[in-house]
Amino acid sequence: MDTQTNTPSADAARQLLRHTLATLAYRAGKTIRGVHESFAQFNTSQPTRSPGQILAHLGDLLDWGLSMANGERKWNSSTPLPWEQEVARFFAALHAFDAYLASDQPLKAPTEKLFQGPVADAFTHVGQLAILRRMAGAPIKAENYFRAEIVTGRVGSEQAAPAMEFD
């Protein structure tokens, strides 16, 4: 079984994965807030996913990551909800995954696999949303993310204000 023990290096990897989820919350939050509800259906061409479909997939990825971490290994392809409900679902899935990682429950999948699968894929899709926002005429400002106030455990929609944005 892929169960990881609670060794000092495993704990460090788990903490880094939690910080990665906080980074995902910060970056995704910036990308998905402040857009009109109609953005969910924006589409450049078929078979490109719409932002609503991408956001639903992000929630599915996080649910999948949690299910692997707790040993269930379950995938679900969700039908997109209205934009604001999908945003709430995304942050709820982030919170649930982070809460499991913060607990003393054993990980039933290696942290490296959790990172390289659902978490890394989620960052790819956040980038897609940022590109689609620009194409839809609602770009986000660039930012020096190194200076951003990203805190392990802060995985909700409420994030620190950007420290250094630029055009």
Under the phi-then-psi rule, with left for phi > 0, alpha for psi from -120 to 50, and beta for the rest, what region is 136? Answer: alpha
73: left (phi over 0), alpha (psi -120 to 50) or beta: left
Cα separations in angstroms, 78 against 11, 90, 108, 114 = 32, 12, 24, 20
8-166 CATH, one of 3.30.70.120, 1.20.1440.230, 1.20.59.10, 1.20.120.450:
1.20.120.450
pTM of the model as a whole: 0.93
Q: How far apart are CA 94 and CA 55, in angstroms?
A: 12
For each of the chain's 167 residues, which pLDDT tens digit applies? 334 545 557 799 999 999 999 999 999 999 999 999 999 999 998 888 999 999 999 999 999 999 999 999 999 999 999 999 999 999 999 999 999 999 999 999 999 999 999 999 999 999 999 999 999 999 999 999 999 999 999 999 999 999 999 98
